[in-house]
A = this chain, B = another copy of it.
Amino acid sequence: MIIDKRSMVPIYEQIVNQCKALISSGAIKTGDRLESVRSLSSRLGINPNTIQKAYTELENQFICTSSPGKGRYVTADAKCIIHENAKKNTAALDSEISTLVLCGLTYDEIESIVKSSYKKAEKKTELIKNLSGKD
């Protein structure tokens, strides 16, 4: 995982997103065990509470389930849930697009920005996938 402590995106949310990415890309599969809170915490140098919060969020979205004493395991529907939830939760994107439109940008200008953002995102996704071995 790649955690940017300076990012505006909360650390716990970065972890949630990258866990989703690893599952979505197939690097982690249904039934696999997620790295333990303590292990991930010490590896990333991040407070265990923060990892805990991220994992709890994943559980709330039924992406993993916890077996006390054993660990956390990826559910069967995880990949599908991730994909569907992403399509539904457009509130943040709505808000960003809205800001641009309010500032007078045309659809073409916005589409061009989105394309550029998409390319950046593709590269980032590659990076995370490639690191997934050590993950």
Contacts and interface: CB of A to CB of B under 8 A. Distances in A.
A7 B66 CA distance: 10
Given A67-B5, A96-B92, A111-B111, A24 B102 contact: yes
Interface string A100-135: 111111010111011011101110110010000000
User: Which size bracket describes the interface of A in this complex?
Assistant: 35 or more
B102 A90 contact: no
Given A25-B104, A83-B103, A85-B103, A93 B96 contact: yes
Interface string A69-109: 01000000001001101110011111111111111110101
A102 to B, nearest CB: 4
Contacts of A100: 86, 93, 121
- Copies of chain A in the complex: 4
A91 B10 CA distance: 14
B90 A117 contact: yes
A103 B90 contact: no
B98 A120 contact: yes
CB-CB nearest 5 A-B residue pairs: A86-B103, A21-B102, A101-B121, A24-B104, A97-B117
